[in-house]
């Protein structure tokens, strides 16, 4: 069997609205090995969530549309699958943890029923047995299962996110997509939830794509890191590559905007400017407008360079060996 569980090749997703085309994802290339965890890092609007929804075939359509590309999951292109085939994959093979647990659960159904739902969809099992399994899942995520017949409004935010995790893991998926799973939570709860996801994932041997804008969280959990900017992966590599030998000016900018308590810095250094309007992206490197090192070749199509094995950078500076250190 292929070592790679997921490979995304040149994925383009656009949102078509009233004469505008919002280019949300523009040629994303990613690969993920079985059991591996990948952090997908980028700012708001960079196309992180759209990429994840693209994998599940859930890009809202209309207005969203996958323009081209391939999403190879277990040697099969998910983009060629019918909706019925995708329904068998969603929740069972690939499942997703959403950003906002407050709204991700249906307010009129009991949490037990919501966990049992996904189990019944994918396994031939009676309603009673599915509920028993749902209760097991609740215990697994650290919630007393006597609460299975309670409704989402009776739980706190962190508890709700545990329920969402229970739903996502109930059918032992091979690939877990976690879309900013801790962003909506208290800092005190973030750590617990993150540990829970990581622990259960490892126990079950699932691969993980962790979407985040928080490099700290990614550093904690992920072996591989992909930095996404304006719908494009600008740098990809192991956590070591990204955290120690980052090469792309955007990645460097991200790290500069993290407070570093070992150094005395008066103010953080944010990346100047705003991300390019996704309805009119520039030619060449999308980051050139904001890049302090931009020069003429950046206006042309930028190829991907590999300064060391497995470390991919989409920046001309890398080729010339001029990458800022």
Partner 1 sequence: MARFILKRLLMMILVMMGVVLLVFSMIYFSPGKPEDYILGDMATPADKQAFRVENGLDKPFIVQYFIYLKNMTKGNLGISYTTRRPAIDEILERFTVTFKISLLSIAFSIMVGIGTGVVSAVRQYSIWDNISRVLAIAGMSMPNFWLGLMLILLFSVVLGWLPASGIATWKHWILPAITVGSASTASIMRMTRSSMLEAIRQDYIRTAKAKGQKNLVIIFVHAFRNAVIPIITIIGINFGFLLGGAAVVETVFAIPGLGKLIVDGIKVKNAPVVQGGIVFAAVVMSFINLIVDVLYAYVDPRIRSQYMRPRSKRRISEPSKGDAANA
Which residue ranges make up the site for partner 1 (CB under 8 A)? 56, 58, 86-92, 95-96, 98, 100, 103-110, 117-118, 121-122, 128, 131-132, 135-136, 139-142, 145-149, 151, 153-154, 164, 167, 192, 195-196, 199
Min dist CB 36 to partner 1, Å, is: 21
Residues in contact with 96: Cβ distance below 8 Å, sequence separation at least 6, in sequence order: 52, 56, 168, 176, 177, 178, 179
Residue 27's region, left for phi above 0, alpha for psi from -120 to 50, else beta, is left
Burial class, 179, CB count within 10 angstroms (exposed 0-12 / middle 13-18 / buried 19+) = buried
How many whole angstroms separate alpha carbon 232 and alpha carbon 12? 9
Q: Which is nearer to partner 1, 135 or 275 (CB)?
A: 135
Min dist CB 161 to partner 1, Å, is: 12
Strands 305-308, 232-238: parallel, antiparallel or unpaired by DSSP?
unpaired
Min dist CB 46 to partner 1, Å, is: 20
Q: Which is nearer to partner 1, 199 or 300 (CB)?
A: 199
The dihedral built from the CA positions of residue 211, 214, 217 and 220, taken in this order, carries a sign that is: positive
Min dist CB 32 to partner 1, Å, is: 18
Min dist CB 110 to partner 1, Å, is: 8
Q: Which is nearer to partner 1, 40 or 163 (CB)?
A: 163
How many whole angstroms separate alpha carbon 268 and alpha carbon 324? 19
Within its chain, how far is the Cα of 38 from the centroid?
Answer: 8
* Residue 135 token pair: 């209760």
How many whole angstroms separate alpha carbon 118 and alpha carbon 97? 13
Q: Where are the beta strands (DSSP E) in 204-289?
A: 207-212, 224-229, 232-238
Min dist CB 125 to partner 1, Å, is: 14
Min dist CB 225 to partner 1, Å, is: 23
Q: Which is nearer to partner 1, 172 or 257 (CB)?
A: 172
Find residue 40's DSSP bridge partners. 211, 226
24, 15 Cβ separation under 8 angstroms: yes
Q: Which is nearer to partner 1, 90 or 246 (CB)?
A: 90
Complete DSSP assignment for 166-218:
HHHHTT--SEEEEESTTTTS-HHHHHHHHHHHHHHHHHHT-EEEEEES-HHHH
Q: Which is nearer to partner 1, 103 or 172 (CB)?
A: 103
Min dist CB 70 to partner 1, Å, is: 21
Q: Which is nearer to partner 1, 146 or 301 (CB)?
A: 146
């Amino acid at each position: 069997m292929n070592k790679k569980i997921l490979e995304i090749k040149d994925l383009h997703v656009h949102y078509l609205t009233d004469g505008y085309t919002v280019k949300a994802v523009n040629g994303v290339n990613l690969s993920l090995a079985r059991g591996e965890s990948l952090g997908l890092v980028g700012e708001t609007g960079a196309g992180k969530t759209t990429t994840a929804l693209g994998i599940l075939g859930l890009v809202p359509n209309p207005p969203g549309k996958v323009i081209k590309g391939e999403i190879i999951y277990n040697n099969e292109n998910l983009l060629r699958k019918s909706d019925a085939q995708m329904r068998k994959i969603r929740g069972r093979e690939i499942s997703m943890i959403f950003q906002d647990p407050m709204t991700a659960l249906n307010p009129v159904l009991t949490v037990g029923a919501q966990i049992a739902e996904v189990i019944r969809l994918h396994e031939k099992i009676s309603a009673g047995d599915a509920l028993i399994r749902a209760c097991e899942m609740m215990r697994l995520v650290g919630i007393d299962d006597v609460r299975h017949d309670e409704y989402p409004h009776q739980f706190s935010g962190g508890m709700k996110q545990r329920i969402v995790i229970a739903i996502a893991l109930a059918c032992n998926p091979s690939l877990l997509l976690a879309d900013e799973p801790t962003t909506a939570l208290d800092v005190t709860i973030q750590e617990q939830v993150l540990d829970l996801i990581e622990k259960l994932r490892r126990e079950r041997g699932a691969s993980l794509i962790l979407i985040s804008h928080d490099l700290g969280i990614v550093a904690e959990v992920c072996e591989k890191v992909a930095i996404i900017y304006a719908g494009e992966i600008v740098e990809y590599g192991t956590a070591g590559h990204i955290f120690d030998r980052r090469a792309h000016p955007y990645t460097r900018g991200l790290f500069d905007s993290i407070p570093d308590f070992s150094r005395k810095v008066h103010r953080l250094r944010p990346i100047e400017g705003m991300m390019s309007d996704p309805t009119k992206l520039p030619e060449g490197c999308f980051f050139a407008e904001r890049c302090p090192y931009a020069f003429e070749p950046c206006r042309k199509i930028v190829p991907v360079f590999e300064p060391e094995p497995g470390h991919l950078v989409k920046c001309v500076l890398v080729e010339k060996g001029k990458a800022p250190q």
